Amino acid sequence: MEKDPRLKPAIRVCPAGLYSENEKGEVVLTIDGCLECGTCRLVCGTEILDWNYPPGGTGVQYRFG
């Protein structure tokens, strides 16, 4: 859970819809389903969002068929 209100733009731009605002006005992030696109980092900046690509082999997995 993130509480910094400067993360609010991420609610609109995250393509996976992982950011939301709770009843207290706090920005909440659910990391499951992250596409690792980095959009939230670009929009919010690295000062308030410490975001890194996961180590090799632990990131997004695509399933076909």
Residues that bind ligand SF4 (CB under 6 A): 14-16, 18, 34-40
> What type of residue sits at position 25?
G
Shortest reach from residue 31's CB to ligand SF4, in Å: 7
- Which residue lies nearer to ligand SF4 by CB, 16 or 28? 16
Structure tokens at 13: 């731009």
Q: Nearer Cβ to ligand SF4, position 5 or 38? A: 38
- Sequence-distant (6+) residues with CB within 8 A of 31 are 18
Cα 38 to Cα 52: distance, rounded to the nearest angstrom: 8
Residue 53 or 64 having the CB closest to ligand SF4: 53
